[in-house]
Structure 1
Amino acid sequence: MPAYMDDLDQAVSLIRGSGRIMVVGCSGGGKSTLSRKIAGLLSLRHVSMDREFFWLPGWVKREKAEERALITEVVNGEAWLMDGTGPSTFDIRVPRTQFIIWVRMPRWICLWGICKRAFFHLGKTRPDMAPGCREQLPDREFLTYIWTFEQRFSPLVVAGIDRYGPDIPVLQLKSRRDVSRLLDLLGAPA
């Protein structure tokens, strides 16, 4: 079982002392926004997995071997905050990580986040996406992914953390209030 933390003050102290942080969770939950804020506060390089590893311009998926090589290069660095779940890359990322923040929002919040994202960014490329990956309306497959994330994909996250970093502290944020409290304690406006 992952080393879940309940004490937010202790978690903040550990986050401040960490140079390598992963932020994971379902799409639409607020990972990227939170990641940018924390990376800015801690002067860490914000690494968006979607932008830097997964996607090439125009929604072309990068080859796995190249993706893994790029991830390996980044995680071998000393200071980064990596935004993205990608359990298939936990074998590379988790052993080098000092702290994991799991944005574990209810699915309705994630669905709402995706709807807002589509509304505000439709036809535009978001800052956390590769160039030329213009925001699209979510399709049924993507909505199903979000709806079933907790049942289908959270077990993969737990198993990956268990296997590659069972002693790495994990802070779960399960509400917008949790996110606000974390940012307040870190000294940032929510």
Structure 2
Amino acid sequence: MKRVIVIGCPGAGKSSFARKLAGKLHLPLHYLDMIWHRPDKTNVSREEFDQSLHKIMDGEEWIIDGNYLRTLPLRLGRCDTVFMFDLPVEDCLSGARQRIGKPREDMPWMETEMDPEFQQWIQDFPDTQLPIINELLASCREGVDVRIFRSRDEADTFIASF
């Protein structure tokens, strides 16, 4: 486990898991949200994002946290392990609500309220994003270890096994 991606619905607990995993494996952790978003809530260009992502993936060891479907095939082609969080929507909405008003190392600003568009994105995730992710995971090259967590407890149990 040297090149790891952590994906799944926002609010599922990906970033918390990725932090714990990085601590156990002593691998550098990279949050795609920190690469894409600027503190003023604007975004970098696709070219700048892609350059940063390629620089990370050129390394021999990393954990990359985040979905960003456009670049998922690229990351799947370089990783050796995938952790996919497939939790119920209500759990993800609850997770997203719990982080409002809290500073986060995986986002360059602090959320002060639940953005309606973001809430809708979470609600639509099982219908719009999950089928594409599942299709991509089904076509992973041989040798990629894909683990799917259906609850935060499953993820915690995995971390505790180290």
Normalised to the residue count of structure 1, the TM-score between the two structures is: 0.80
Q: Supply the distance in 2 between the matched residues of 1:149 and 1:179 (Cα, whole angstroms).
A: 20
Q: One-letter code of the match for 1:22?
A: I
Cα separation, partners in 2 of 1:183 and 1:79, compared to 1, 3 Å: same
**What count of residue pairs does the alignment treat as equivalent?**
161
- 1:42 aligns with 25
Q: Supply the distance in 2 between the matched residues of 1:108 and 1:170 (Cα, whole angstroms).
A: 24
Aligned residues: CA RMSD: 1.4
Q: One-letter code of the match for 1:147?
A: Q
Superposition pairs of residues 25-104 of structure 1, within 5 angstroms: 25-51=8-34, 53-104=35-86
Q: Supply the distance in 2 between the matched residues of 1:76 and 1:110 (Cα, whole angstroms).
A: 32
Give identity over the alignment, percent: 27
2:5 to 11, 22, 26: 22
- 1:145 aligns with 121
1:172 to 145, 148, 151: 148
Q: Supply the distance in 2 between the matched residues of 1:129 and 1:41 (Cα, whole angstroms).
A: 22
SS of residue matched to 1:57:
coil
* Structure with larger Rg: 1
Q: Supply the distance in 2 between the matched residues of 1:176 and 1:91 (Cα, whole angstroms).
A: 25
Shift of 1:162: 4.0
**Larger deviation, residues 30-39 vs 134-143:** 134-143
Q: Supply the distance in 2 between the matched residues of 1:138 and 1:160 (Cα, whole angstroms).
A: 30
Give the conservation status (yes or no) of the 8 Å contact 2:6–2:63: yes
Structure 1 gaps, min length 5: 1-17
Question: Is residue 128 of structure 1 aligned with residue 106 of structure 2?
Answer: yes
- 2:87 aligns with 105
Shift of 1:128: 0.8
Give the conservation status (yes or no) of the 8 Å contact 1:90–1:161: no
Give structure 1 regions of 4+ aligned residues with deviation exceeding 6 angstroms.
none
Q: One-letter code of the match for 1:127?
A: E
Cα deviation digits, residues 96-138 of structure 1 (max 9, x gap): 10000001111110000011111x41xxx411112xx231312
Q: Supply the distance in 2 between the matched residues of 1:59 and 1:100 (Cα, whole angstroms).
A: 28
Q: One-letter code of the match for 1:100?
A: V
Q: One-letter code of the match for 1:21?
A: V
Q: One-letter code of the match for 1:49?
A: L
Give the conservation status (yes or no) of the 8 Å contact 1:87–1:160: no
Q: Supply the distance in 1 between the matched residues of 2:96 and 2:132 (Cα, whole angstroms).
A: 22
Q: Supply the distance in 2 between the matched residues of 1:134 and 1:21 (Cα, whole angstroms).
A: 26
Q: One-letter code of the match for 1:159?
A: E
Question: Is residue 154 of structure 1 aligned with residue 137 of structure 2?
Answer: no
